[in-house]
Structure 1
Amino acid sequence: MQKLLLLCFTVWLVSCNGKQVSYVEDKGEIFHTTYSIKYKYSHSLKSEIEAELAKFDNSLNPFKPTSIISKVNNNEAVVLDSFFVNVFNKAQEVSKVSDGLFDITVSPLINAWGFGFKNLENVTPEMIDSLKSIVGYDKIQFQDGQVIKTDPRIQINTSAIAKGYSTDVIANLLESYGIADYMIEIGGEVTARGVNAKGEYWHIGIDKPMDEKAPAHRELQAIIQLCDKSMATSGSYRNFYIKDSKKYAHTINPKTGYPSESNILSATVIADDCMTADAYATVFMLADTANIRSIAEKANLSYLLILDSGNDSLTLVNSSDFEKYRVR
């Protein structure tokens, strides 16, 4: 997911009883990315936040041998926690609505192509066909507290939904302390409630796609105001490869086994929770615009798509209700 520019301010406030109340800002690193959390409270909750994120990591980090998801992948007996169950159920829901464009069993195909497509020259149609036999959301189910697989080689990876869910988890933590005004950004995924320190809705920037893997500067395509909503953005413009003059995105289509050839450079989704927004932002990088419109209506989503229309020009396509979120 692409990093979003957060346009917020910090001031000191005084409550009715005379106690000083601040908008605290906590920053750090987690899940090989950064986080920024701003909230109205009397003191920092950074240690509590990082403790909750550590629990989350122990559940859903597929690269940690002792995590719950790793034990599921290794077919070991394990007690599933609420983090895993919630992500699994939401992933299966999105898979059904998107007709398989979202799939948490796609890892074998991702691994075959390699990070940054480093294995590009080694991939063959025969290899893809073979791997597709152990990919498919319909090959796994949750039953009697356990994940049942049709093939023990099936692997689960929730990276396309977990960061979004982590912002929801921290939102629940903050609300347990009675906090009503906050903005949580983890790896570019955002959940915002209430207002910022200026008493305004939270302002979030959406990057303008730059046709470079490491652009010298960043520009904003739009600024969004959020209140009691979540937003996630997925993009291909910094992760792609070119073969035979065709550009392929980093997102693997689980139905075909191949990288996306879509001209969608960026998909931003606004939803009631960030786990949902994150998952559908991935879906929209694979679907065509007509299918996106249909899916968004079913799932009650708002969206902004940035398309490559050729000749270094961009086309914006958005849901009819997206304009109410735009500041510019």
Structure 2
Amino acid sequence: METGILSLMGKYRHRAGLAMVLMCLSMSALMPDKLRTFQITGEAQGTTYAITYYAKRQLATKREIDSAFKSLDASLSIYDPSSLISRFNASQKGIEMDLHFSKVIAKSLQIYRETGSLFDITVYPLVRAWGFGTAAPVAMPDSASIRTLLECVGSDRLEIQGNRLLKTGPCVQVDVNGIAQGYSVDVIARFLEARGIADYMVEVGGEIRTRGLKHPGGEPMRIGIETPSATGFAAPVIREVISIGDGAVTTSGSYRKFRESGGVRLSHIIDPATGFPVRREIISATVVAPDAITADGFDNALLAAGIDGAFEILKTHPEMQVYLIYKKPDGTIADTASAGFGRYIVR
């Protein structure tokens, strides 16, 4: 780290997650035969984005990046009433998908199956009922209303037929906020690579993908993982610094985005089996995977699975490594990780 730290404060509107800290930003000598540092920042998807890439000349512009986000939002944003996903939610039977929607839905259904339904994009009616959707509810839902909403929940109520996404009834609605930012990171990364950029870091709302090295020194790019303090949830601190090489890292955390009811913190992560917010010992799940859509799709599910359940899921996914921060019965904070995660930690 040469010029300071950029703190990425979670998922903002779309989903809660632990903040990550980019440690890759440095200025290079502005000589025509040297790689230069280019940085593009802005706001998109209800949060911020930051892109750093290294090249001899400018190969990607903010206008192009913003245009890519606009295209993504037109497909995947539940906050845009004219988006494709909003039109699906308002439809009676379903709609024809574009490429973005098709890829995210296909991956979502795959992760739904591979996590035993812990990751389920059809929880949107429940998400809204608990106050984590586009508008806060008038009152917290009771058990009877939850049972009614559960009749509309379950990704087995979705069916892909060619380019169309169909649903079993008009009350079935989807929310891809738990995976869309990871997909967006991958889209931007592919755009940079198509421009011939071999060294970069892309971050959207705390979801990160890196490739190559930081220049001019050729050092590995570093990412800091934040955690709550050992005594509470008020002051996050850097717990670990990692370097993942070519790949992606995302974090889902229950301590930033929540609501309170009767003095109880309600997580934004909803259990699709019960309809109620998840209450697990894990407060943060950081996933390293080859691409951001995979990491982003699994981090919520691993958090909801609990420690034993998370490691059970990982048995069939050797391409992923995970770092879990959890709260012990005495209130102190501890951590654990998959066997391969240690290779990423910067000692």
Q: TM tier, shorter chain?
A: over 0.9
CA distance in 2, matches of 1:37, 1:9: 10
Matches within 5 A, 1:65-214: 65-75=81-91, 78-115=95-132, 119=137, 122-197=140-215, 198-210=217-229
TM-superposed deviation, 1:246: 5.6
Cα distance in 2 between the residues matched to 1:112 and 1:243: 13
Over the residues paired in the alignment, what is the CA RMSD in angstroms? Answer: 2.2
> Aligned partners of 1:111, 1:63: CA distance in 2, in Å?
12
Deviation at 1:137, TM superposition (A): 0.6
Contact 1:209 1:266 in 2 (8 A): no
Residue identity opposite 2:53 in structure 1: Y
Shift, 1:240, TM fit? 3.5
Return the alpha-carbon distance in structure 2 between the equivalents of residues 285 and 118 of structure 1: 24
Q: Aligned to 1:202, what secondary structure does the other structure show?
A: coil
Alpha-carbon distance between aligned partners in 2 of 1:256 and 1:244, rounded to the nearest angstrom: 20
1:32 corresponds to which residue? 46
Alpha-carbon offset, residue 75 of structure 1: 1.7
Alignment of 1:257-276 (within 5 A): 257-276=275-294
Q: Which residue of 2 aligns with 1:309?
A: 328
Q: Check whether the contact 1:196–1:202 (CA below 8 A) recurs between aligned residues.
A: yes
One-letter amino acid matched to 1:71: R
Deviation at 1:120, TM superposition (A): 8.8
Q: Is the CA contact (8 Å cut-off) linking 1:212 and 1:238 kept in structure 2? A: no
1:244 is displaced (CA, Å) by 6.9
1:50 aligns with 2:66: yes
CA distance change for structure 1 residues 24 and 111 in 2, over 3 Å: closer, same or farther? same
Q: How many Å separate the matches in 1 of 2:78 and 2:308?
A: 34
CA separation of 1:20/1:47 partners in 2, compared to 1, >3 Å: closer, same or farther? farther
**AA at the equivalent of 2:288:** I
Shift of 1:174: 0.2
| Distance change >3 Å, CA 320–CA 220, structure 1 → 2 | same
CA deviations 1:105-154 (Å, max 9, x no partner) are 10101111113996595311111111000000100011121111111211
The aligned counterpart of 1:19 is: 33
Counterpart residue identity of residue 28, structure 1? G
- Aligned 8 A contact 1:113 1:120 in 2: no
Q: 1:68, 1:231 → 2: CA distance?
A: 27
Alignment match, 2:22: 6
Q: Residue 5 of structure 1: SS of its match in structure 2?
A: strand
Structure-2 residue corresponding to 1:286: 304
CA shift digits 1:153-185 (9 cap, x unpaired): 111110000011110000000001011100001
Instruction: State the alpha-carbon separation in 2 of the partners of residues 119 and 52 from structure 1.
Output: 32
After TM superposition, the structure 1 stretch with the greater mean CA deviation from structure 2, 297-306 or 119-128, is 119-128
In 2, the alpha carbon distance for the partners of 1:296 and 1:104 equals 20
Distance 1:161 1:133 in 2: 23
SS in 1 for 2:121: coil
Distance apart, 1:14 and its partner CA:
7.4
Structure 1's 120 and 101: CA in aligned 2 closer, same or farther, altered over 3 A?
farther
Structure 2 letter corresponding to 1:294: E
Q: Is the 8 A contact 2:189 2:209 kept in 1?
A: yes
Answer with 287-296 or 72-81: which moved more.
Answer: 72-81
Matches within 5 A, 1:215-226: 215=234, 217-226=235-244
Deviations along 1:12-63, one digit per CA (max 9) or x if unpaired, are: 2578xx5343121111110110111000121152211111111111110112
TM-score (normalised: structure 1): 0.92
CA distance in 2, matches of 1:120, 1:257: 18
Unaligned runs of 5+ in 2: 1-16
The offset of 1:289, in angstroms, is: 1.6
> Is the Cα contact below 8 Å between 1:136 and 1:254 reproduced in 2?
yes
Compared CA separation, residues 240 and 79, structure 1 to 2 (3 A): closer
What is the number of residues matched between the two proteins?
A: 324
Supply the distance in 1 between the matched residues of 2:145 and 2:163 (Cα, whole angstroms): 33
Paired residue secondary structure (2:208): strand
The residue aligned with 1:235 is 253
Residues 52 and 241 (structure 1 numbering): CA distance in 2 closer, same or farther, change over 3 Å? closer
The sequence identity of aligned pairs, in percent, is: 34
Give the conservation status (yes or no) of the 8 Å contact 1:184–1:191: yes
Tell me which moved more, 306-315 or 281-290.
Answer: 306-315
| TM superposition score normalised by structure 2 | 0.87
Quote the offset at 1:227 in angstroms.
1.1
1:299-318 CA distance string (max 9 Å, x none): 23100000101434212110
CA contact (8 A) 1:91 1:161 kept: yes
